[in-house]
Amino acid sequence: MSFYSSEDIKNELLEPSVHNSNSTSGRSEFRIKGDILPSLKLLNTGAFGQAGTTTLDFIGVLGNIKHITLFDGRQELTAVRNFNDVMGFKNINKDNHSNSDIDRFLKRHSVGYQSRDANFTNNYGRKDMVKNTITKSFSATDDDKSAQALYFDLRECFKMLQSVPILSDKVFSQLRLVIEYENQNQKYQVATNVVSTHRRPLLAIDRVMNPVIATNLINSISAVSWVEEEHDRINVPATTNNAVASTQKTSKRVLGFNNKYVGRLRIRKGYQDTSKNVNANAVVEPGAYQSILAKGEVIQLVVNGRALFPRAGLEGNNRRLAHLVDTHGEMNLTPDANHIFHTDFNPSALDANKTGKMDYFGTTLGAEIRELQLEYTRELQIDTTDPGHYNQALTLLITAEVSKVLQVGNGSYRISYSSNPV
C-alpha cells in the first residue's frame, strides 16, 4: 500500500466531457491527460426513471452500455462491442461465492444462489435453490447516493489494461474513453413501456505524480499482448410446425475471424425476433441474454478444413456444459439452466421462465483462422408454444478471443493482430 500512500499516486474523479443521455443515441466521453495507471474504474453508471421498472436479474446495471472503447484520437486502442452481452456471460462465468458476496452488490445483478431445505411433503425432502435478492427498482432521479449506481473496474472487460503498465499522453497523446449506451431498453430494464434515462457516469483514475516512476513505466513498454473479444453471427431459419418431427442442419461460413489467431470461442443462441423476449411489455428473463436449449443439438466447427470434434460434432446437454466449463471455467448456473426437466422437478423457488435458457456452447480453437465453418443441427419438434424452444428462427452470436499486440518504439506505436497465442 506504500505505493498509494507515498504521494506518488493521486486518486481523481473525472467528469465526462460529453454526456448525452438520449435513450436512442446516448453516449459519454472522458478525455484523459497525463500519466495514469491502467486501473480505470467506472462509477455511477446505469439508468434511472420511473419507479415502475427494475434492472434485469442477469445483467444488473451493466445492461445499459452497448459498446465501450478506448481511443487515441481516432485510433482505436481496444474495444468491447456488445458490452452488455459480454458482461452477461462474464457474470455467470464466476463461482457462486463471488456473485453472492461481491458482484451482486457492485453490479446490482441477481446471479448467485442459496441452498435450502424444500418442503418435505411436496418435494420429497430434497434441497432446492433460491436466487439471491438485490434492490433493483430504478431511482426517480440521478442521485449520487442511489444504491442502483454501478462500481465497475474496467480491467475486467479490457484485457489490454491488464497488460499495459501505464497509460500516458507521452505515448497516447489524445486518450479518450467513449461509452455508447444501449438503445433497446429490453436489454437493461424489465418494463419496456417505462421511460428511463442514462445516468451521468464518473471515471476514477490513479494519476502517477512521480515523473521518475512514470518514465520507468513508459520505458518498460516495448511489446504488449492481450486477447480481445470480437463477434460474428449467423442465422438459423425457422421451420413450419407441420406435426412431423424432423432434423434441421445449418452450415455456414464464419468470416469475422479470418487471418486472426483465435483462442477460446463461445456461442449464444437467441431468438432472431427480439420481440419474443418480451411479453405484454415485460421482459421474460433472461430476455435478450438467453441461450436457448434445442433438442438433439449437435455443433461442429470445421477449422481450416479440419473438423474440431469427432463424428458429427459435440452433442448432449451435459457434454456441452462440461466442455464449456473445461474451456471457460466455472459457471454459476442452476440445475435446469441447460435442461427441460420433467414436471416433477420444482423450479418455483428460482424462475421457471429461465428453464433451458442458459445453454451456452464453448470451446478452444487454438489456431490462426484461414477458414471457419459452423455446422448447427437440431431436432425439430411438434411445438405449439410461442415462443418455443424447438422450431424458432435463431441468431447464433459467436464470440471469439483474438490475439492483439501493441508495439512501442521510436516515438510511435503500432497495434495489430498477432498470429501467436497470448
Q: In angstroms, how far is the first alpha carbon of the chain from the final one?
A: 30
Region for residue 113 given its phi and psi (left: phi exceeds 0; alpha: psi -120 to 50; beta: otherwise): beta
Residue in 181, 224, 201, 177 with CA at minimum distance from that of residue 72:
177
The more confidently predicted of residues 140 and 62 is 62
Sign (positive/negative) of CA torsion 324, 326, 332, 336?
A: positive
Let me know: does 232 contact 257? Beta carbons within 8 Å: yes
Cα 298 from Cα 291, distance rounded (Å)? 15
- Alpha-helical (H) ranges within 183-305 are 211-219
Grid cell at residue 296: 438433439
Cα 49 from Cα 250, distance rounded (Å)? 43
* 310-357: pLDDT as tens digits: 999 999 999 999 999 999 999 998 878 887 765 555 554 456 667 888
Helix (H, G, I), strand (E, B) or coil at 268: strand
Grid cell at residue 201: 457516469
Least confident span in 35-44, 152-161, 366-375, 382-391: 382-391
Give the phi and the psi of residue 159 in degrees, each rounded to 5: -65, -25
Cα 181 from Cα 22, distance rounded (Å)? 9
Mean residue pLDDT of the chain comes to: 88
Let me know: does 327 contact 364? Beta carbons within 8 Å: yes
* 76-131: pLDDT as tens digits: 999 999 999 999 999 999 998 898 888 888 888 888 887 766 555 555 556 666 77
Contact residues for 316 (Cβ-Cβ < 8 A; gap 6+):
none
- For residue 248, what are the CA distances in angstroms to 240, 251, 268, 375, 377? 11, 10, 18, 11, 6
Q: Which element (helix H / strand E) includes 377? A: strand 372-380
pLDDT at 1 over 60: no
Grid cell at residue 356: 433451458
